[in-house]
Amino acid sequence: MENQPQKSFNSSVLEWVETVIFAIMFVSVVFTFAARVITVDGRSMEPTYYHGDRVLVSGFAGEVEQGDVVIVVHALQEPIIKRVVATEGQVVDFDDASGEVTVDGVALKGEMFGIENGITYLPDAPGQVLDFPQTVPDNCLFVLGDNRGNSTDSRFVSVGMVDHRNILGKVVFNLYPFSKVGRPA
């Protein structure tokens, strides 16, 4: 009879170990394929996101649309966080008089994205900046950082138009700082 409590204890321990292993595998699969926590690196998305902010990114959050914030890979050495300004087939240009980007001839005021109006210009960097107007090719996106004066984005040859295959996912939830927790605005 003394063997019965030992057997019950061993059975309980094995059940707990099995549950913990299953939970770890489930979380690993989710965070490998469905969602990732990304830490913002740099100042290119200020005032929306600051260096060190943490966001949840999903590749299964639906079609990427104008205004979405995405994580782009294989554009620069490290993944970058940018806002989608135009999608395939749209014509992008810059209006120097108003300091705004135009999509299909319509100025996109900064306030649409929670940033200042009149801060979007083509950088004065000959040979490093694309010629505009540009039509966004099929299966591509045009992205800009919200900190337009301090962002290496689709205006630059080094990033250019971003292929959909280079989108890791879109930001679906703000995690840190705690004052910003929730769905992105």
In angstroms, the CA 9 to CA 11 distance is 5
Taking a C-beta distance cutoff of 8 angstroms, is the pair 19, 1 a contact?
no
Answering whether pTM is above 0.75, one says yes
Pick the more confident residue, 130 or 28: 130
pLDDT tens-digit readout, 118-130: 999 999 999 999 9
DSSP state, residue 51: T
All structural domains of the chain with their residue ranges: 35-177
Query: CA of 79: how far to CAs of 22, 29, 139, 155, in Å?
Result: 30, 21, 19, 17
- Where do we find the tokens 């104008």? 66
**Residue labelled with tokens 């505009």:** 132
**pLDDT for the residue numbered 51:** 96
Residue 121 CA to residue 155 CA, distance in Å, equals 9
- Of 2-16, 111-125, 131-145, which has the strongest mean pLDDT? 131-145
Angstrom distances, CA of residue 26 to CA of 20, 22, 41, 185? 10, 6, 28, 29
Which CATH architecture does the domain made up of 35-177 adopt?
Ribbon (2.10)
How sure is the predictor about 142, in pLDDT bands with cuts at 50, 70 and 90?
very high
Whole-number Å distance between alpha carbons of 127 and 107 = 25
Percent pLDDT > 90 in the chain is 70
98: annotated active-site residue: no
Task: Provide the edge-to-edge strand list for the sheet that holds 69-72.
Answer: 35-39, 54-58, 167-176, 69-72, 80-87, 140-144, 162-163
- Pick the catalytic residue from 8, 44, 58, 158: 44
Read off the tokens for 14. 């094995």
Q: How far apart (Å, rounded) are the C-alpha atoms in residues 183 and 125? A: 36
Tokens read off for 119: 């801060």
Supply φ then ψ for residue 128, to 5 degrees.
-105, -15
Structure token pair of residue 135:
């039509």
